[in-house]
Amino acid sequence: MALAGGLCAGPAPAQAAPAQKPNILFILVDNLGYGELGAYGGGATRGAPTPRLDRLAGEGLRLTNMNMEPQCTPSRSSMLTGRYAIRSGTYAVPYGGMPEGLTQWEVTMAESLSEAGYATALYGKWHLGSQDGRLPNDQGFDEWYGIPRTTNEALYFASPGYAPEHMAPEQIMEGRKGQKSRELKVYDLDQRRLMDAELTRRSIDFMERQAQARRPFFAMASLTQPHYPTLPNPRFAGSTGHGDWADMLAEMDHNVGQMLDAVDRLGLRDNTIVIFASDNGAEYIQPYDGWSGPWRGQYFTAWEGGIRVPFMIRWPGKVPAARVSDEIVHGVDLFPTLARIAGAGVPQDRPIDGVDQSDFFTGKSGKSAREGILVWVDNRLQAVKWRNFKLHFYQQDNMMSAPAKLPVPFLADLYTNPQENESKRVFASWVTGPMLKMIGAFEASVKKNPLIPMGTPDPYLPPAAARP
């Protein structure tokens, strides 16, 4: 998609972006709970130390209040578009029977960075459309390899009576910009075990090629672990002696270390932004369920365990090392932040919910550029966070529970009640004032820019643009 007319000219002042554009290595993992890594209280306590990730956490900024949307598709949509997924019709994991994923009208971070001269690639899980026209190479990535949907489909082959003629198995695919993607092989349980090692290898190969070409790159290593079934690579199976989950954690740490070593070997360390994050909270499905650390709940819910995730960013000489912050940040902020740093543009013809966090990340400001977030679960505004307070409008204990509208919203102080225990309800109703302003601002924006319904086919044009 051409961005002309839809973007500002970028953060125009020349001094706003460095003369040499930084590379971006974005390592995104799937359903890693807040408490899994050593730097977040896990690691050895989960059966496997995570030395490479812990070291990365100390080499830059580590956030303790990074928030994502609570499901895979919405979180990936929000990070790549800078918009709450409710706006894009991507507010829930798709289950088939309708067009799925992002419409071509949406502008992604990859498209913006590509327009700014970056080589772009995604290796791994996509989950934002599985048909030609809505695959990564249709949404700004020069090349991609991975799975269009999600890892649990590898379990089809272990299901009694599985009939591929009624439900085709997921395929591992690859594609290049301007071409149709092609199917390579079936994503079964054997391939599930091998996938992340292959994604790591391809990510490194991409960085090597761009380093040789002296071209800035955006490499999105969208790893599939620890999404269920949590099965480690055969090289790591049994390596910890503490089961598949710990073996997977050791494998993840190793894979990240391999990519970091490649950055160093290529002489790119000082000019490469490395981001590590999880797409949402901990895995829920047993026996693969993860750990949310001090927080309540897991993914598919508005509890902190569903939305608060590990996040670290390293950029030597720009992002101060050994810094930890509990300031609120949301996944939607990544697009405007990275666009500002890279000298790229952000769409001006639609609401952008993300805010530029470059001053906060680089230490020029000790405060986040936001004080609160809206928390959507499916198409419901389930909660609002503002500073250390959180207001729940629905009760939903886990992904299997039906949401129940609360007659009186439940207000929690996350400092004194991190588990969001209903018996510790706060009655300081003054804090609902700024929360209601946030909701009002969102609702006002929807009146001017209606939400895109889930299942909307291409071509899509917003109602105002569609008028003669």
Same domain, yes or no: 460 and 446: yes
Residue 1, domain member (yes or no)? no
HSE (CB half, 13 Å, CA atoms) of 199? 35
Distance CA 54, CA 64 (A): 14
Spatial contact of 207 and 266, defined as CB atoms under 8 Å apart: yes
Give the closest residue to 241 by CA, choosing from 13, 464, 47, 35.
47
Task: Using only the alpha carbons of the chain, give its radius of gyration.
Answer: 21
The b-or-e profile of 346-378 (16+ CB within 10 A means b, else e) is: bbeebbbbbbbbbebbbeeeeebbbebbbbbbb
The b-or-e profile of 379-416 (16+ CB within 10 A means b, else e) is: ebbbbbbbebbbbbbbebeebeeebeeeeebbbbbbee
In this structure, the chain runs to a length of: 468
State mean pLDDT over 258-282.
98
Where among 371, 399, 419 does a domain terminate? 371
Distance CA 335, CA 316 (A): 20
State mean pLDDT over 101-122.
98
Q: Running DSSP on this structure, what letter comes out for residue 372? A: E
The tokens describing 255, both together, are 């894979």
Same domain, yes or no: 50 and 181: yes
Same domain, yes or no: 382 and 452: yes
Same domain, yes or no: 410 and 292: no
Query: Does the pLDDT of residue 466 top 70, yes or no?
Result: no
Q: CA dist 385 to 217, 382, 409, 434, 439, Å? A: 34, 10, 13, 10, 11
CATH number of 57's domain: 3.40.720.10
Query: Does the pLDDT of residue 421 top 50, yes or no?
Result: yes
Residue 86, domain member (yes or no)? yes
Number of domains in the chain: 2
Residue 6, domain member (yes or no)? no
Distance CA 277, CA 72 (A): 13
pLDDT at 17: 43
Alpha helices by DSSP H, 46-185: 51-58, 72-81, 85-88, 109-115
Same domain, yes or no: 320 and 215: yes
The amino acid occupying position 447 is K
State mean pLDDT over 214-225.
98
Q: Would you name the residues annotated as active-site residues?
A: 72, 127
Residue 11, domain member (yes or no)? no
Distance CA 36, CA 49 (A): 10
Same domain, yes or no: 406 and 267: no
The amino acid occupying position 22 is P
Query: Does the pLDDT of residue 147 top 90, yes or no?
Result: yes
Same domain, yes or no: 253 and 379: no
State mean pLDDT over 370-386.
98
pLDDT at 3: 45
95 falls in which pLDDT band (50, 70, 90)? confident
Give the closest residue to 121 by CA, choosing from 142, 107, 138, 102.
142
Residue 7, domain member (yes or no)? no
> What is the arrangement of strands in the sheet containing 380-386, beginning at the earlier edge strand?
372-377, 380-386, 389-395, 404-413
| Residue 163: count of CB within 10 angstroms of its CB | 8
pLDDT at 13: 38
Where among 347, 371, 395 does a domain terminate? 371
Residue 143, domain member (yes or no)? yes
pLDDT at 449: 96
Same domain, yes or no: 246 and 345: yes
Q: What is the longest distance spanned by two Cα atoms in the chain? A: 67
Residues sharing a CB contact under 8 Å with residue 246, sequence separation 6 or more, in sequence order: 46, 47, 48, 240
Same domain, yes or no: 387 and 367: no
CATH number of 422's domain: 3.30.1120
- Residues 227, 228, 229: CA angle, nearest 5 degrees: 130
Considering the chain, what is the average pLDDT of its residues? 94
pLDDT at 19: 62
Same domain, yes or no: 268 and 392: no
Same domain, yes or no: 152 and 278: yes
pLDDT at 464: 73
Query: Does the pLDDT of residue 347 top 60, yes or no?
Result: yes
Q: Running DSSP on this structure, what letter comes out for residue 347? A: B
Same domain, yes or no: 192 and 258: yes
Residue 229, domain member (yes or no)? yes
Better pLDDT: 11 or 165 = 165
Where among 371, 405, 438 does a domain terminate? 371
Residue 432's domain spans which residues?
373-466
Residue 3, domain member (yes or no)? no
